[in-house]
Structures are given as C-alpha cells and as structure tokens.
Amino acid sequence: MTEATSKVQARHLKRNAYLYVRQSTLRQVFENTESTRRQYDLRQRAISLGWRPDQVVVIDTDLGQSGASAVDREGFQHLVTEVSLGRAGVVMGLEVSRLARNSTDWHRLLEICALADTLILDEDGIYDPAHFNDRLLLGLKGTMSEAELHVLRARLRGGILNKARRGELEIRLPIGFVYDSEGGVRLDPDARVQQNVRQLFRTFQRTGSAIATVRAFRDQGLKFPRRIYQGPNKGDVAWGELDHSRALWILHHPRYAGAFSFGRSRMRKHPDGRIVYKRLAPEEWTALIRDAHEGYISWDEFEQNKLRLRENAHALGDEREKGPPREGPALLQGLVICAVCGERMTIRYHQRGALLQPDYLCQRHGISHAQPICQQIPGGTIDEAIGKLLVETVSSRTLEVALQVQRELESRSAEAERLRQHEVERARYESELARHRYMRVDPDNRLVADSLEAEWNQALRALGEAKERYDKQRQTDDASVTDEQRAAIIALAKDFPRLWSDPRTPQRERKRMARLLIADVTLLRGTELRAQVRFNGGATHALTLPLPKPAWALRQTSSEVVSEIDRLLDHHTDAEIAKLLNDRGMTSGEGKHFTRLKVRKVRIAYDLKDRFSRLRARGLLTLDEIAARLNVCSVTIKQWRRAGLLQAHRFEDRGQYLFEPPGPDAPVKHRWKMRRKSNASLTTSNALNP
C-alpha cells in the first residue's frame, strides 16, 4: 500500500476517479454478475485511497456491446475525453488492459493518461503511466490481452475451417434441404417445397432471367417457401412471394447442385463500423466439395445458370456483357460495340412512318462525362445487312463442313481426355489412402493425427486441383456434339432462311437466333459504315455499307426530276413545268404531285435560274427597255404586243412581259399605221367579196 499511496498525490485526489465497467455481450451481463460485482468493488478501493464517494464516476454505458472497435463504444470515447480534459485523477477497471479491446485504443489511452497525469488502477495495483516501468507493464498487459483475444478467435475459427474443408461442418441449409438423423443432407421431404424449388429452376431454364422467373411466379400466383429461423415458429416453413434477390440467391447457391461450399464471401468491418460482404471467386472459397449430396440441378446446369445470370447482369463489368433479348425490333440489341472507344452501344428508337427504326449509339461515356455522344449510327440498314449475311452464312453446307472439323477434333481430344482422367483417378486414390491413414490413427496421439490430417488435406487439395483442371479442359474441349444435336443443327440450317424471312417469326426469335450465331458487331461510322461481325466460334466478316441517308435526304426530290426541271425552265414557267411533270407521272421526293409552288421550291433549293432570268440572260427586254429602243411610249408597245407585232413572254407571277429584241422588221409608228390601214382595207374587201 505504501507504493500505492506514494503514487496517489493531492493533485490526483482533486480530480475525479473514473470507474470503467465493461461487459462484452448481453449474455455476459446476465451470467457474469460476479465480475460486475468485482468491478464495483474497485470503487471501494478508490475511496480507501482518498477519493470522496461523490468523486467516483461510473462509466458503464457500454454494457451489452462488444469492444472490438472504438466506434461502437460511446463509454470508452467518453472516458478518453474526460482524461484528455484533465478531469480524471485515476482510471479504474477490472484488468484495465481490457478497457480497450485492441492495442491501438489501449496505447492511445496510456499516452493520454501520461500526458494528463492520470493514474490507472486495477485489481493488481495502481500504475502511473508517466513512469517508465509502469508504462512498460501496462503496455504488456494490453498486448497480452489482445493476443489472447486473437488466439481465442483463431482457435474457434480454425476448428470451423477444418470441419468445413472436410465438408462436415453443419451449417444452415437453404430451403429445400434438411439434415437427416445422421447429419446427412437430404432433399426436403415436403413434396410441395421440393416442387416449388424445382419449378424455380425450370422457369429460369425457360425464361433465362431471374426477373422473368419472379414475374412468372407472380403471374401464376405461385408462392415460394422460406424457413423461419427465429421466433416461436422457428423451423417452420412460411410461404410468400418470390422476390428477385431471393431468386438470385438460390440460383447462385452451390447447394442446389449438390455441392458443399464454405467461405463464398468475406466479411470486412470498416473503420466506421459498417460491415461489408464481398463475394469471392470460386477458387478463393474455403471449401467446395461437389457431389456432396443430392441436388436439384446438375453442376453443369448450375454453371450454365451462373453464366447466364452474369450475361444478364448489365451492371457487371462495364456493361460489356450482353443483356437478354428484349422486345424492341433492333436485331443487334446488346451485340453492338463502338469501334471508336470499345464501349457497348445502346439503342434508341425513333418512329419513321409506321415503323420503329433503331439507332445504335455510344453515349455512356458522353453521359457520364457530359460530353457529346461518341457515335450515332442508324440501325435499319445494318440490321438488314446482318440478316442477309446470316441467311447466306447459315447454309447447311457450311455447317456440315464445320461439323466435320468438329468430329475430327473430338476424336483427338478423346485421347487427351483419357490421360487427364487417369490423373484425377490417381489423385482420388491418394486422398483415399490419406483418409484411411488418418482414420486409423489413435486420436489421442495428437502429433501423428495432426500431421496425418495435414497430409490428407494436402491430398484433398491435389484432388480438387486435378478435378478442376480436368473439368476446365473438358469444358473447352467439350464443344462435342451428339449425333442428335448434329441432326438438329443441320435441320435448323436448312430451315434457317425460311424461318428468318417468315413474317410470322417474332422479332425476338430473330434476335435470339442472331445471338446464337453472332458474338458481337463492331461499328464504325466514317465516310461509309463499316461493320466487323464476329461470329460465335471466332470467324469474322467485314461489311461495308453506304451511310444511310438522313431523314431529310429521304424526302429529297430525285436528281432526275431536278435536272428535268432545269431543262424545262428554258422554255416553260413554273406552273407549266408542274403540269408537264404531273402529266409524265413524276412525283416529288415525298411522293406527291407537283404544283407551281413546289417547282419554285425545288428551283430555289437547287439554285436553278428561273425562266425570267434565263430570258433576260438571252437578251430579252422589259417593257421600258423596248419602248426606249423603239423610241415609242410604253402604251404603244402594249398595243403592238396585243396586235401580235411584237414577240413577248408573259410572267403572271410578276405581272410582266419580256420582249424579244426587235429585228430589222420591227414596227415603227408610221409603218404600223399603214399596216393597220391595209388590214382594215383587207377586212373591208373581204366583207365586200363574200
């Protein structure tokens, strides 16, 4: 006590004594009242050291919370604050190092205590963190406490992992499975549960998408089972709507393919206390044991489903994957890639007449960076050209050749397959051997048992790897086609052109066929349209197409009509030309009759000189000009024109005439009078001579 009293000084006693009471879980709070009592005993010690009872502050807000990180613990934070403000003369706790469950928190508290001249008191004694020896001791206590926690956790986890690797760990089963009395996994004996799980897989098989599966369940009013894991009805099956996340979860769960798996995701705690789960790739799983029990689907089906889901997932991997075929008419939906930037192009439709016309556009980058879109390509002509290409390519002859090559490859790969099969067999034999050895050893002989277990694990891993290699290789080789499939393919090939052009074939089916054959189409818009078609299987084909005309160009008057108008303008007015063109059955770009105004529009649009300017260019004269030339007044000219003495062209829209330049026989005022007389005499003589 002399040591303790020498450390406690008047300056410490002036400040408060903080008693930090810590329990980690609610269960401990209930069961471990003993330690709570001990913690409150510390209060008495503080009082015996000279603090007044009203100076002892109890911090126990953390009751019921785990101490693994400082964020969760308000009480601990409060304590640190009080110490750093210099209000604490002593900090008390049962095994003080457990105040903080990780070393960083603990060392920080020590640091602050040393600076604020605060003592630390636990059941073993009183420490002054400012003293080197005490500090060393406290630091050690913290480290030990953390190490203990770690060892405890590792021991627990290690046991679980070992069991998991052997596939013996009993974990919660997904709906549709139950444990039998021997601890084996069986399909749920409830026929209705089984049926509905099977229905989910069948529906997915048919529709190819999780959302469509959910929709089908909803449309048919089907319920999906769910096991209750908590509460009074624990263990019962509840029936409810199937939702998307649940369907996805089931489709991704290896159990349904009869496989035991463990460690498919990793949990990580963020500094702010958030918990984040990350899904791992199969090769990172802790354990995967195929054919561990009966399943609802085969492993191959499981893999295929996963592949399909991945393809459906637009969000995954830069949207570079294809989406499922949707209803719109664009044939290449989800297959088009921009040749400029490599992004997958999206579709926008626009109405043209009664038809929906697709445009393929690359806009993702543009949207996210607020820039103009990268490429926009009218889709109609491309779709048409690709359709033609497919019909040409998929003739039965080309397919037959392909199938022949296939057969050749198959026979070669069969040999290699046998060799790999042997390898797997050997690995299996070795793992069996290791298992026997392990089983036979006396479990009390820990040293031997441990090393044999390690050996067995090693053998199992080797077997897993050999199997994986085998399956992987087989998958690449296993483009092998059965005779039946071969016949079906040939039949399809013969049928393909008919099916393709049949108007009753829904566009969605055409899209599906295109997807079967085409991996992707890369588009580049330059002076013309270049499309690089990559077929499934690696063959490529380049297409070059003229750029389709923009909408205004399609409504344009054809060049023949324009040149005809140009020709006719030499001799005719707009109104006359309109009539002439209509008589010949020519139509405007929009397919309509010509009118004077329409001819005028074309004339102006193509910068054709009108009839008036053409005649002026030829030297024809206006009224005033010819009047000046002939040295008469304009009224006289008008009279002469009416009398047919002057050649003139009438321009109704201008209300004007143009006159041919007068020749040597042009009328003069005097001669005209004479002529008029002679005309008159002629008339008279006619009248006189009936």
Which span (17-25, 30-38, 334-342, 660-668) binds Zn ion, by CB under 5 A? 334-342
- Output 347 or 586, the one with its CB closest to Zn ion: 347
Q: By CB under 5 A, name the one of 341, 355, 401, 554 that touches Zn ion.
A: 341
- Output 307 or 341, the one with its CB closest to Zn ion: 341
Q: Shortest gap between Cβ of 532 and Zn ion (angstroms)? A: 14
Which span (372-380, 447-455, 562-570, 577-585) binds Zn ion, by CB under 5 A? 372-380
Q: Of 17-76, which residues contact Zn ion (CB under 5 A)?
A: none
**Token pair for 188:** 């749920």
Burial degree of 77 (CB within 10 A; 0-12, 13-18, 19+): middle
What residues are labeled active site?
24
- CA 85, CA 79: separation in Å to the nearest integer? 10
Q: Of 535-564, which residues contact Zn ion (CB under 5 A)?
A: none
Q: How many residues at the interface with Zn ion, by CB under 5 A?
A: 5
- Output 138 or 374, the one with its CB closest to Zn ion: 374
Q: By CB under 5 A, name the one of 362, 463, 568, 578 that touches Zn ion.
A: 362
Nearest to 606 by CA among 618, 583, 589: 589
Q: Shortest gap between Cβ of 255 and Zn ion (angstroms)? A: 42
Q: Which residues contact 172 (CB under 8 A, 6 or more apart)?
A: 229
- CA 447, CA 589: separation in Å to the nearest integer? 94
Q: Which residues contact 640 (CB under 8 A, 6 or more apart)?
A: 646, 667, 672
- Output 99 or 374, the one with its CB closest to Zn ion: 374
Nearest to 92 by CA among 19, 23, 198, 152: 19
- CA 124, CA 137: separation in Å to the nearest integer? 11
- Decide if 31 contacts 58 (C-beta within 8 A): no
Q: By CB under 5 A, name the one of 250, 292, 297, 338 that touches Zn ion.
A: 338
Q: Shortest gap between Cβ of 328 and Zn ion (angstroms)? A: 21
- Decide if 139 contacts 96 (C-beta within 8 A): no
- Give kind and range of the element (H or E) at residue 484: helix 483-501
374 binds Zn ion (CB under 5 A): yes
Q: Shortest gap between Cβ of 379 and Zn ion (angstroms)? A: 15
- Output 110 or 362, the one with its CB closest to Zn ion: 362
The residue behind tokens 């995954």 is 316
Question: Binding pattern to Zn ion, positions 293-332, x when CB under 5 A?
Answer: ----------------------------------------
Q: Shortest gap between Cβ of 346 and Zn ion (angstroms)? A: 11
- Decide if 209 contacts 289 (C-beta within 8 A): no
Which span (312-320, 341-349, 501-509, 627-635) binds Zn ion, by CB under 5 A? 341-349
- CA 145, CA 24: separation in Å to the nearest integer? 14
- CA 96, CA 117: separation in Å to the nearest integer? 17
- Decide if 332 contacts 379 (C-beta within 8 A): yes
337 binds Zn ion (CB under 5 A): no
Which span (209-217, 335-343, 384-392, 682-690) binds Zn ion, by CB under 5 A? 335-343
Q: Shortest gap between Cβ of 527 and Zn ion (angstroms)? A: 18
340 binds Zn ion (CB under 5 A): yes
**Token pair for 608:** 């054709």
- CA 429, CA 268: separation in Å to the nearest integer? 39
Q: Which residues contact 318 (CB under 8 A, 6 or more apart)?
A: 343, 344
367 binds Zn ion (CB under 5 A): no
- Output 97 or 363, the one with its CB closest to Zn ion: 363
- Output 290 or 365, the one with its CB closest to Zn ion: 365
- Output 85 or 341, the one with its CB closest to Zn ion: 341
Q: Shortest gap between Cβ of 366 and Zn ion (angstroms)? A: 8
Which span (79-87, 195-203, 257-265, 360-368) binds Zn ion, by CB under 5 A? 360-368
Q: Shortest gap between Cβ of 543 and Zn ion (angstroms)? A: 19
Q: How many CB atoms lie within 10 A of CB 630?
A: 19
Which span (370-378, 457-465, 582-590, 682-690) binds Zn ion, by CB under 5 A? 370-378
In the chain, the N- to C-terminal Cα span, in Å, equals 169
Which span (58-66, 303-311, 355-363, 555-563) binds Zn ion, by CB under 5 A? 355-363
Q: Shortest gap between Cβ of 109 and Zn ion (angstroms)? A: 57
211 binds Zn ion (CB under 5 A): no
Q: What's the order of all strands across the beta sheet hosting 88-92? A: 56-59, 16-20, 88-92, 119-122, 125-127
- CA 246, CA 68: separation in Å to the nearest integer? 32
**Token pair for 286:** 């802790």
- Output 365 or 638, the one with its CB closest to Zn ion: 365
Binding site for Zn ion (CB under 5 A): 338, 340-341, 362, 374
